[in-house]
Amino acid sequence: MTSLHTTSVRRRRLGVAAAAAGLFATLLTAGPAAATPDPGDAATTRGGISVGEQAEARAAIKSGEIPGVDEIVHSDNIEHLTNIPKDALQGLNTDLAFQGKYAYAGNYDGFRIFDISNPKKPRTVAQVLCPGSQNDISVSGNLLFLSTDSSRSDNSCTSTTQPATEKSSWEGMKVFDISDKRNPKYVAAVETACGSHTHTIIPERKDVYVYVSSYSPNVTFPDCQPPHDGISVIKVPRKAPQDARIVSFPVLFPDGGNPGAPDNPGVSKTTGCHDITVLPSKDLAAGACMGDGLLFSIKDPENPKIIDRVQDNVNFAFWHSASFNQDADKVVFTDELGGGGAATCNDEIGPNRGADGIYDITGKGDERKLVFRSYFKIDRPQADTEVCVAHNGSLIPVKGRDLMVQAWYQGGVSVWDFTDSSKPKEIAYFERGPVSTDAVTTAGPWSAYYYNGYIYSNDIAKGFDVLKLDDRRTDPAKRVRLPELNVQTQPEYFRH
């Protein structure tokens, strides 16, 4: 465990005058492959930047406009309790799930289990080596689910990379038995078309349904052929997880979805979904599907039914993730502009790209519609060496208010209020300064979630952070206790 100092609250404004014109032009004119979402298997360093950009970053640090390299800054209402650096698993840290006193942290090399019974001093319970990006993670009862979205030699945890052009290659879902937290056991694997970039679970008494999101088919990939306009639905029997199998492949885009460029320059062509959030108590789901946003019914989980579909071909490049508010009359969609590999939090990109889009849900039943209200983007300046974009977040459960904590890669952790859909505002933040002033580097929080009174963040490069939020607007949430939290399976917070 390392001790990290904090500094005074930083000055705030929209952004530094960054030399990002070249990036901006690329994002506006590139074809469907412009947004390759999430870091992939490459090294975290993205390359050098110009001498001028390096000088601007150093000048901004010197003036106090942005934090120094690796310097921690935060608002007065957030306390940084601790950081647990990476250990055996040195890959990129990814998503988080929670169960009782345990936090489960995904990593491109496997997953790690923490005992968080004392949030100030989390203890590592287990580290499981099982390479296969992104290792998106969920838990339900004694089962843990892990996504593999890189082409592997086989479905084992000792597999090696292998080209997707080879028929024998494997990608898909893995299932572990976690009844013994110190010794998780790998019990099942299900291969899915185009792998599993992310997944979402719908827990039922006897079975767990898994919605598998994947995309980017290619005629040269035997197991990922176009068209790929839907999701794989896996049914996992709790008492016999080894019998897990695909039960349906609902087509969500019978018309092929957003065509992307050249019709819609700078927008990703829809070839599947990136992430889906379900609200089982309302039989609803929201899909962030590359060039499209979806609202659909999951009354029949094996056969979801589309209610409404929206696009934003002006400001959204890649629909990345979705969150309902507690009343299920709003959805927040995130845009992963630059695919999680570019510096997009600056004046040149502006406040509406690489942002959250807030949509009200109007109407009833199958006549419900998604109606755009506003964008939200952090206005704290970031250097052109800092990969910064809207990423994974969760609700902070307070009755009568819509509050959210969210990861922004090197933009840090943001707590914001969207109770007024048209006037969202940030109310707290935590972040580190740039990892480097010499190269664009992927780092910062991948996920930032509120669970049982604390904010937990999985920093791609720095490790597992625990934050404490003290604010009269969010304090009521400390009384809400959940036995389990998979953020993409949103709970009915006030039933517990």
Give residues with Cβ within 8 angstroms of 273, minimum separation 6. Answer: 213, 214, 215, 231, 252, 287, 288, 289, 290, 294
282 burial type by CB count under 10 A (0-12 exposed, 13-18 middle, 19+ buried): middle
Contacts of residue 284, defined as CB under 8 A and 6 or more positions apart, other chains included, come to 278, 295, 296, 297, 298, 324, 328
pLDDT for 56: 84
Round to whole Å and give the CA distance between 110 and 108: 6
Rounded CA-CA distance 160/488 in Å is: 29
What's the pLDDT score for residue 34? 30
Question: Of 145, 147, 215, whose CA–CA distance to 186 is shortest?
Answer: 145
Residues in the chain, pLDDT under 70: 1-48, 496
Kind plus residue range of the DSSP H or E element containing 57:
helix 51-63
d(CA 287, CA 391): 15
The whole-number pLDDT of residue 378 equals 98
CA–CA distance from 300 to each of 137, 138, 363, 389 (Å)?
24, 21, 21, 34
pLDDT of residue 77: 98
pTM for the whole structure: 0.91
59 contacts 287 by C-beta, under 8 angstroms:
no
Diameter of the chain measured on Cα atoms: 61
Give the separation between CA 231 and CA 125, rounded to whole angstroms: 33
Rounded to a whole number of angstroms, the CA Rg of the chain reads 21
How far, in Å, CA of 236 to CA of 158, rounded? 23
**Amino acid identity, residue 375?**
Y
Q: Are 356 and 332 in contact (CB under 8 A)?
A: yes
Segments of 153-231 assigned E as strands: 170-177, 185-191, 198-203, 207-213
CA distance linking residue 291 with residue 123, whole number of Å: 41
Contact status, residue 202 vs residue 138, Cβ threshold 8 Å: no
Q: Is 350 left (phi over 0), alpha (psi -120 to 50) or beta?
A: left
- Tell whether omega for the bond before 134 is within 30 degrees of 0, i.e. cis: yes
Residue among 461, 468, 434, 432 nearest 446 (CA):
461
Contact 336, 316 (CB under 8 A): no
